[in-house]
């Protein structure tokens, strides 16, 4: 019984690493075409990104079925994966994105840090230069702010629009002329 609980708990903890890697390198990599919906405004309760949760559920179900078919440890691995999925739905969809009718605000420091870190993750438009890819662990907010600042400083500034005429309010003023001696 203790071994089963240990397998379950280890799997639940390991899923944070799996989730981090999947979020950073799959969802913000080659799987962006699916994950993009999570970073855009939504009209309904379902988004294309939910496919990743379905894949996670199918993996958990498969492991539990294999465990019940005689490979006992896999049942507990599947239970750990399923528990991670349930916690994801409760914390991420419920508390962070407030997809539920009841919209709780995180008051506990740990939940507030997860919430703030995820907001910072969404502060970046597009798939590159995001911060905080974890789910149950979020780096300190100060660290995330520094990372965002560093990425913004590296971004080239857009070129100034040329003047459309002397009366244009969209014109970038010319640089000041050098002082004459």
pLDDT tens by residue, 87-135: 988 888 777 777 777 777 888 899 899 889 988 888 888 888 888 888 8
The answer to the question of residue 141 being in a domain is: yes
The answer to the question of residue 84 being in a domain is: yes
Q: pLDDT tens-digit profile of 25-58?
A: 999 999 999 888 888 877 677 888 889 999 999 9
Query: What pLDDT sits at residue 176?
Result: 58
Record the tokens describing residue 160, joined without a space: 């100034």
The answer to the question of residue 125 being in a domain is: yes
Q: Ramachandran region of residue 173, left (φ > 0), alpha (ψ -120 to 50) or beta?
A: beta
The answer to the question of residue 149 being in a domain is: yes
CA distance 169 to 143: 39
The answer to the question of residue 92 being in a domain is: yes
Record the tokens describing residue 19, joined without a space: 């989730």
Domain that includes residue 144, residue range: 2-37+46-154
CA distance 91 to 98: 9
The answer to the question of residue 81 being in a domain is: yes
Q: Count CB-CB contacts under 10 A for residue 13.
A: 13
pTM of the model: 0.76
Q: Are 115 and 103 in contact (CB under 8 A)?
A: no
Sorting pLDDT into bands at 50, 70 and 90, what band is 19?
Answer: very high
Q: Count CB-CB contacts under 10 A for residue 43.
A: 6
State the DSSP code for 8.
H
Number of domains in the chain: 1
CA distance 78 to 69: 13
Going by C-alpha positions, the residue among 119, 121, 143 that lies closest to residue 130 is 121
């Amino acid at each position: 019984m203790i071994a089963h609980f240990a397998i379950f708990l280890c799997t639940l903890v390991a899923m944070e690493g799996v989730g981090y890697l999947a979020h950073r390198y799959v969802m913000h990599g080659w799987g962006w075409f699916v994950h993009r919906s999570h970073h855009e405004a939504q009209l309904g309760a379902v988004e294309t990104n939910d496919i990743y949760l379905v894949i996670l559920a199918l993996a958990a179900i498969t492991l539990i079925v294999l465990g019940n078919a005689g490979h006992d440890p896999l049942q507990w691995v599947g239970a750990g994966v399923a528990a991670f999925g349930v916690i994801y739905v409760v914390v991420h969809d419920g508390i962070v994105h407030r997809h539920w009718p009841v919209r709780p605000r995180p008051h506990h420091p740990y939940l507030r840090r997860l919430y703030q870190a995820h907001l910072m993750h969404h502060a970046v438009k597009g798939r590159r230069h995001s911060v905080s890819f974890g789910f149950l662990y979020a780096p300190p907010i100060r660290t995330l702010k520094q990372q965002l600042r560093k990425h913004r400083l590296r971004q080239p500034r857009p070129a100034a629009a040329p003047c459309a005429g002397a009366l244009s309010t969209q014109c970038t003023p010319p640089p000041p002329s050098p002082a004459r001696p």
